[in-house]
Amino acid sequence: MGAAVTEPAAVRLIGLTYAYPDGTGALHGVDLDIGAGERVAVLGPNGAGKSTLMLHLNGVLTAASGEVHIGAVRLDRSTVRVIRQRVGVVFQDPDDQLFMPTVEQDVAFGPANFGLRGENLSESVRFALDAVGMSDRADRSPARLSLGERRRAALATVLACRPEVLVLDEPAANLDPVARRELADILLALPTTLVLVTHDLPYAQRVCDRAVVLDAGRIVADGPIDKILGDEELLAAHRLS
């Protein structure tokens, strides 16, 4: 029998190092593999490097050294457009991603920018609006939506591009309990590889199976989320409790 074919990780970071323009180190040799379909929470105190790490996954930031691989594709200047279609990022402020007159136009913007037209574009928009439960608000102005609805609309703008990896920055911040639950249910129903960047430990535990703790630009813990969050000494040492 031949050797089994090993699928590449959905996300692979190798020796990722980054410094801010003033020279302050933000990431220090980060190595991380995330398998296809995994739901991983990236946890850490303020200033740990969580958002900086997130912005490397689709080439918004470029590492001083190290590698980013999405599936079998290594991120570089020649592949950044492909990577940005494969890795969708949902920012904490939905207004960063909602700027068109209607929700439907916002959701269509991304896939149209990647070249979809006609029925293919319409189908992607319908798929994304259905996935977040916003089909009945397609013609509404984002300005008339609640914060929870705007978060879901922003998620739809990314899902319409059919990403393989979905990265979310503090998706539950400032949401009421009903909106938090609705968003969690949506995320749990998605088959996409999920990277949740947060310091909201209960929400991370609700949505994710695995946790990575980042502090001072280094991974200090990685394992099943229930085990990580049950380690009171670890949480206290890294200002998570």
pLDDT in tens, 161-171: 999 999 999 99
| Mean pLDDT score, 214-229 | 97
Least confident interval from 37-41, 81-85, 222-226: 81-85
Query: Is residue 173 predicted with pLDDT exceeding 70?
Result: yes
Model confidence at 1: pLDDT above 70: no
Beta carbons of 159 and 187 less than 8 angstroms apart: no
Give the CATH number for residue 134.
3.40.50.300
Tell me if 106 is assigned to some domain.
Answer: yes
Query: Whole domain around residue 50: which residue ranges?
Result: 11-237
Instruction: Count structural domains, the chain.
Output: 1
Q: What angle do CA 172, 178, 183 make, to 5 degrees?
A: 45
- Is residue 70 a part of any domain in this protein? yes
Strand partners, 196: 41, 168
pLDDT tens-place string over residues 63-86: 999 999 999 999 999 999 999 999
Strand partners, 32: 13
User: Is there a domain that residue 205 lies in?
Assistant: yes
The reported pLDDT for the residue numbered 183 is 96
Q: Taking 90 as the threshold, does the pLDDT of residue 2 lie above it?
A: no
| Mean pLDDT, residues 166-191 | 96
Residue 202 has pLDDT above 90, yes or no: yes
4 part of a folded domain: no
Q: What is the pLDDT of residue 180?
A: 96
The residue among 39, 82, 67, 15 whose CA lies nearest residue 217 is: 15
pLDDT band at 209 (very low <50, low <70, confident <90, very high): very high
Q: Looking at residue 6, what is its pLDDT?
A: 63
- Name the band, by pLDDT with cuts 50, 70 and 90, for residue 5: very low
Gap between the terminal Cα atoms of the chain:
51
| Residue 172, Cβ density class (10 Å: 0-12 exposed, 13-18 middle, ≥19 buried) | buried
In this prediction, residues 45-66 reach a mean pLDDT of: 94
